[in-house]
């Protein structure tokens, strides 16, 4: 059985993004610890496909959609300073162990954003106490 990819059967960037969100959610689910390596491989495949579809024109049925409703898949609560510090430590460890220059550059920007979130979180928690 062969699958042909054309504009009618190929998933677009929106569909692929939803698939990636589901895989990422499964990655952080404690019941899936034994499956993380396989899930990471699946996520990598979806991300490579997503990267290719992002360069394609926006399909007509995806234009003017507006902001999607919250589906409850992720928790958008603000992170506590200790959680952000843990993330910064993990990202810094990743930077020390990686060798791929492009990935290191991307991780560096994410680390920078996390430090800014940590800074804002510290200021916000100071205002509540005061």
pLDDT of 33-47, one tens digit each? 678 788 888 889 999
Question: pTM for this structure?
Answer: 0.65
- Taken in order 102, 50, 25, 116, the sign of the CA dihedral is positive
Distance between CA 119 and CA 123 in Å, rounded? 6
Distance between CA 14 and CA 67 in Å, rounded? 12
The more confident residue out of 1 and 101 is: 101
Q: In angstroms, how far is CA 122 from the centroid of its own chain?
A: 24
How many angstroms separate the Cα of 31 from the Cα of each of 5, 35, 41, 60?
34, 9, 18, 39
73-118: pLDDT as tens digits: 888 888 899 999 999 999 999 999 999 999 999 999 999 999 999 9
Structure tokens at 101: 């220059």
16-31: pLDDT as tens digits: 888 888 877 777 776 7
- Burial (CB count <10 Å: 0-12, 13-18, 19+), residue 107: middle
pLDDT for res 8:
61
pLDDT for res 4:
45
The domain ranges of the chain are 10-65, 76-130
């Amino acid at each position: 059985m062969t699958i042909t990819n054309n504009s009618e059967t190929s998933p677009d960037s929106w569909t692929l993004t939803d698939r990636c969100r589901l895989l990422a959610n499964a990655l952080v689910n404690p019941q899936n610890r034994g499956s993380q390596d396989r899930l990471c491989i699946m996520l990598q495949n979806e991300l490579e496909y997503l990267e290719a579809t992002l360069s394609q024109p926006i399909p007509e049925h995806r234009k003017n959609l507006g902001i999607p409703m919250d589906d409850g898949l992720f928790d958008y609560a603000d992170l506590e300073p200790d959680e952000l510090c843990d993330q910064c430590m993990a990202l810094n460890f990743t930077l020390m162990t990686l060798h791929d220059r492009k990935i290191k550059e991307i991780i560096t920007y994410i680390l920078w954003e996390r430090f800014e979130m940590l800074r804002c979180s510290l200021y916000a928690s100071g205002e509540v106490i005061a």
